């Protein structure tokens, strides 16, 4: 499903230096998108974020194509709560920045400060059955009971599916807004948002 060539490096990516790593990294990033890691970003504070290939990432005025974080895909995301907003608890993956939004009155993780979670299989197959959360930044935000959230241009949606292009090509991210100690980015194809730690 995802590129095998990512597995080896993603699972063992502990050296967080932004120095260029040669042709292998650059080729991988050109094919699958750049690597994002909140762990690596936090370890390398500064106004500019870098991919291990050396490329500058997540410029607020440009689009960044990012690959899937295979360790999260295979082992599940590890979440911490970052906010209570719009009647929801909001969580973010400490590695890849993937968020979750649960209604406060039906949050299965309400009494846990950190937890691991895999994607709900039926939602991947048939799409997420979503409810409206809030309107912001010219978008309508939705969340599924599984926790997946989306920012979409159209109102009144009840189902959101993941487009295949993101599975194969990664996500194309643009900055939306700074919230607390995180910068939020939005994928133009799937409507997923990602949170990356503010490091400046
Ligand atoms: Zn890269
Ligand atoms: Zn993750
Ligand atoms: Zn869902
Ligand atoms: Zn996407």
Contact status, residue 150 vs residue 192, Cβ threshold 8 Å: yes
Backbone φ, ψ for residue 42 (5° rounding)? -65, -30
CA dihedral 155, 156, 159, 163 (to 10 degrees): -20
Measured from the Cβ of residue 108, the count of other Cβ atoms closer than 10 Å reads: 12
Ligand nearest to the CA of 143: 3
Largest CA distance in the chain: 50
| Cα 100 to ligand 3 centroid, rounded to whole Å | 10
Q: Given this model, what pLDDT does residue 110 score?
A: 94
| Cα 122 to ligand 3 centroid, rounded to whole Å | 8
Ligand nearest to the CA of 119: 3
| Cα 188 to ligand 3 centroid, rounded to whole Å | 19
* pLDDT tens-digit profile, the chain (200 residues): 444 444 444 444 444 444 555 788 888 899 999 999 999 999 999 999 999 999 999 999 999 999 999 889 888 899 999 999 999 999 999 999 999 999 999 999 999 989 998 877 789 889 999 999 999 989 999 999 999 999 999 999 999 998 999 989 999 999 999 999 999 999 999 999 999 999 98
Q: Rounded distance, CA 140 to CA 172, Å?
A: 19
Give the global pTM.
0.86
Ligand nearest to the CA of 162: 4
DSSP 8-class letter at 142: E
Domain boundary assignment for the chain: 5-66, 71-197
179-182, long-range: CB within 8 Å, 24+ apart, which pairs?
A: 179/83, 180/82, 180/83, 181/82, 182/82, 182/92, 182/97
| Cα 134 to ligand 2 centroid, rounded to whole Å | 24
Measured from the Cβ of residue 138, the count of other Cβ atoms closer than 10 Å reads: 8
| Cα 76 to ligand 2 centroid, rounded to whole Å | 7
Q: Given this model, what pLDDT does residue 118 score?
A: 81
Q: Rounded distance, CA 41 to CA 196, Å?
A: 8
Q: Given this model, what pLDDT does residue 150 score?
A: 97
| Cα 20 to ligand 1 centroid, rounded to whole Å | 9
Can you say whether residue 46 is alpha, beta or left, with left for phi > 0 and alpha for psi between -120 and 50 degrees?
left
């Amino acid at each position: 499903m995802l590129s095998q060539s990512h597995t080896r490096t993603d699972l063992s990516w502990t050296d967080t230096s932004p120095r260029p790593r040669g042709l292998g990294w650059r080729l991988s990033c050109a094919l699958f998108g750049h690597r994002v890691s909140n762990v690596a970003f936090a370890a390398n504070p500064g106004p500019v974020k870098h991919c291990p290939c050396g490329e500058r990432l997540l410029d607020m005025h440009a689009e960044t194509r990012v690959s899937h974080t295979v360790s999260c895909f295979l082992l599940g995301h590890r979440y911490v709560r970052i906010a209570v907003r719009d009647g929801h608890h909001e969580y973010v993956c400490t590695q890849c920045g993937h968020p979750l939004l649960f209604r406060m009155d039906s949050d299965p993780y309400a009494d846990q400060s950190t937890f691991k979670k895999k994607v709900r299989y039926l939602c991947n197959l048939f799409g997420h059955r979503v409810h409206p959360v809030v309107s912001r930044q010219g978008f309508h935000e939705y969340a599924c009971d599984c926790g997946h959230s989306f920012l979409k241009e159209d109102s009144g949606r009840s189902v959101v599916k993941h487009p295949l292009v993101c599975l194969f090509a990664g996500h194309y991210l643009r900055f939306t807004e700074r919230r607390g100690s995180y910068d939020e980015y939005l994928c133009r194809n799937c409507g997923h948002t990602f949170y990356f730690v503010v490091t400046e």
